[in-house]
Structure 1
Amino acid sequence: MTALELTPIWDKVFPESDKVEHGKIIFHNRYGIELAADVYKPKGATGKLPAIAVSGPFGAVKEQSSGLYAQTLAERGFLTIAFDPSFTGESGGSPRYMASPDINTEDFMASVDYLMNRDDVDPERVGILGICGWGGMAVSAASCDPRIKATVASTMYNMSRVNANGYFDADDSAEKRNEARAAMAARRTAEYASRDYARAGGVVDPLPDDAPQFVRGYHAYYKTPRGYHARSLNSNDGWTAIGCESFVNFPTNVYADEIENAVMIVHGDKAHSFYFGKDTYDQLAHGVNPANKELVVVEGANHTDLYDQVDIIPWDTIVDFYQKYLA
C-alpha cells in the first residue's frame, strides 16, 4: 500500500453543514487498496453511534452525491462515511478508472470493516447506502455480508445487467455480447502494446439536439456547477474504455433473494433506470425475508433528481428505515 494524499480543503459541490463534524480518513480493502473517505459525525455526539457507509453514483466521487447523503444522514444522528471506490477519486488502485463487480463489492464490505472497528460506532448497528450503480453494489454487498443490518439503494443501476444486455435489455443476445467482447479484446491487445489505456469519455458535452432525457439529466448534474467536480470520471474523461468489461460475464445480484437483513429500494418513477429498482425489489420481495424489504417510489422524480435534489429525496423515509433497523 502507498500513502494517499488527501485534499485538506472543503471541495464538495454542496455546502458544509454546521451541524456535523467533518474529517478525512483512509481505510483499506482485502486487496490491499487504500480507500479515501470523508467522515461525518453529528456535532457533540457521544457514545457508540449507528453508522452508514455511502458510495456512488457510478463514476462519481465522494465530493458529489454520496457526500451530500452522508452529511445529511449525519445531521440526523448517524456517523457516516462517503468513500471513493477503488481506482477512482482520491482512493488508490492502478491502473486508474477501472471497475470490478468483485473489488467494488469488496469496497463496501471493507467500509463495514472500518466502521465496526471505530470506538465511536456500535458494531451491531452498521448499514450502507449506494447511489446509482453503487445501489446495485450495495445490494451485492448485502447479499455477501450479514454484518450489514440495513441497506438503501437509491436510483439504482444493475451494472452487470446494463453492461451485458444494454439499456432495457435491448442487446440481450449472444450475438450482441460477442460483438462487444470482440471489440474489447481487440482494444486490450492494442493497449497492452502501446501502454496507453484510452478513456471512454464521460458525460457527453455539448449535448446533441436529440439527446434523450436521461442524458440531459446527466449533463445537468455532471457538466454544470450543480455537480461538476475535477476528480469525477463522469464530469471529465470517464472510465477506461474497457473499464466495465468484467461486468458482462459476472452478475452481481444473483442471490439478492437470500438477503435476510433489511433492504430499501428508492427510485423515481420517471427515471429511465426504474426497471432496475423494480426488478431488484421483486427479487427481494420473493426471497427469504420479504417482511423487511421496501420499495419507495418517488413520484415524478427522474434518475438524477435523487442525486442531489434535497426537496425530492425522501429523507424522512430513509431515516425512519435506518432508525428502525439500526436500533
Structure 2
Amino acid sequence: MDNYIFELDENVTRENVTYKNRFGIEIAADLYRSKDFDESERHAAVLIGPPHSAVKEQGSGIYGQELAKRGFVALAFDPSYNGYSGGEPRHITSPEVFTEDFSAAVDYLGTRPYVDRDRIGAVGICGSGGFALSAAQVDRRIKAVATTSMYDIARAASKGFHDSMTEDERIHALNEMAEQRYADFEAGYPALAPRNTISPDNPITEEFYEFYTTPRGYHHNALTQFTITSIMAYFNFALLDKIKWISPRPILFVAGDQAHSRYFSEDAHEAAADPKELVIVPGANHIDLYDDTSKIPFDKLDEFFTKNLA
C-alpha cells in the first residue's frame, strides 16, 4: 500500500488494518497514533472518510496524521468497492453502503482496548461529509461530527448543481441509467462513467482535475469514476433528511469562502439543530481543504473534538 501523497510525520505511526462492515465487505484502513501513544490508557478517537472517489492515501490520511499528532486515535479508511477495500463489482458508489462504512469504522475503533467507545467522533471530507452526517443521524455512538468541503452527493446527483436540474433533465438521466442496466446485464459487468467528467475546462471540475490528475493528489486507486448505474440510488435516497436527529450531539461545518460547494455546508448548517457551528476559511477553495495544511483549520478541529469528546 504505497503512493501516499504526503510524508509520514516522524512523530506519528501508521498501521494498515482491516475489518468488515455489516455487508461482509472487508474495509482497508490506516490507523494513526502518536509515537508516544500509551496503550494502557483509553483515548478519544476520530474516524475520517475521504472525498467521494478518493482514497485513504490522500486527504483523509493527512487528517488522520494531523489528528494523531494532537493525541487522538485516528482511522482513515477506503470506502467499500474502492481503493484497497473489498467489494464487487469495483467502483460502486452507494448511499447506504458508504454510510454504513462510517458505522463499521465505529465498530472497529470501539472494540480497541485503548479507545474509549464513548468518545468517538467522525470527520467527513467532501462527499464523506454527507455520509458522516447520515451515519450520525442513526448511529448515536458517533458523539461529534465535523465536515470539510461537504458535498451532499444525493442532492447533487438528483437535483444538479445549485438544484438546477430540470424535470426533463432528471427524466433523461434516469432513462439513460435504466438503459445502461440492460447494457451492463448483457455485458456481465457494469460500465464506468467517462473519465472526462473531470476536466480543466469546466469551472466546477477544474479543481478536481488539479488535484486528482497531477502529482499534488494523484493516486492510482482514485479513478474519479463510478459505475454509471450506481448513481441511480442517489435519486431515490436522501442523505440528510434527518439531520436534526443528530442533536444534541454537535456538528462543525467547515467550508472555503471560494468553494463552489460552500452552499452545501451553509444549507446543512441551517437545517441542523443546535449545537452547530459553521466556519468559513478565507481564501480557500473546495480542494484546498483536502490537503493544504496551511488552510485546513486543524487547531479548530482539535478544539472541537477535544471539547466534545471529553
Which residue in the other structure is 1:259 paired with?
246
Which residue in the other structure is 1:74 paired with?
68
1:186-226, CA deviations, whole angstroms, 9 ceiling, x for partnerless residues?
A: 01011101114221134657633xx21x3221111111100
- Unmatched runs of 5 consecutive residues or more in structure 1: 1-6
Aligned residues: 307
CA–CA distance in 2 between the matches of 1:188 and 1:170?
26
Q: Which residue type is aligned with residue 147 of structure 2?
A: A
CA RMSD of superposed structures (Å): 1.3
CA–CA distance in 1 between the matches of 2:192 and 2:242?
32
Which residue in the other structure is 1:44 paired with?
36
Q: What is the TM-score with the length of structure 1 in the denominator?
A: 0.91
Secondary structure of residue in 2 paired with 1:184 = helix
Which runs of structure 1 show a deviation greater than 2 angstroms over 4 or more consecutive aligned residues?
201-208
1:148-167, CA deviations, whole angstroms, 9 ceiling, x for partnerless residues?
A: 11111110000110010011
CA–CA distance in 2 between the matches of 1:269 and 1:220?
19
> Does 1:316 pair with 2:299?
yes
Q: Which residue type is aligned with residue 299 of structure 2?
A: D
CA–CA distance in 2 between the matches of 1:201 and 1:42?
41
Which residue in the other structure is 1:276 paired with?
264
CA–CA distance in 2 between the matches of 1:27 and 1:93?
13
CA–CA distance in 2 between the matches of 1:323 and 1:172?
44
Deviation at 1:111, TM superposition (A): 0.4
Work out which of the residue numbers 186, 208, 214 in structure 2 matches 1:224. 214
8 Å contact 2:199–2:205 — kept in the other structure? Answer: no
CA–CA distance in 1 between the matches of 2:56 and 2:195?
17
8 Å contact 1:202–1:239 — kept in the other structure? Answer: no
Secondary structure of residue in 1 paired with 2:137 = helix
CA–CA distance in 2 between the matches of 1:215 and 1:268?
16
CA–CA distance in 2 between the matches of 1:187 and 1:281?
36
Which residue in the other structure is 1:4 paired with?
none
CA–CA distance in 2 between the matches of 1:311 and 1:18?
19
Which residue in the other structure is 1:3 paired with?
none
CA–CA distance in 2 between the matches of 1:146 and 1:98?
27
Q: What is the TM-score with the length of structure 2 in the denominator?
A: 0.96
- Unmatched runs of 5 consecutive residues or more in structure 2: none
CA–CA distance in 2 between the matches of 1:206 and 1:265?
27
Which residue in the other structure is 2:93 paired with?
99
> Does 1:89 pair with 2:83?
yes
Secondary structure of residue in 2 paired with 1:244 = helix
Change (3 A) 1:183 1:81: same
Deviation at 1:169, TM superposition (A): 0.7
8 Å contact 1:164–1:172 — kept in the other structure? Answer: no
Change (3 A) 1:197 1:268: same
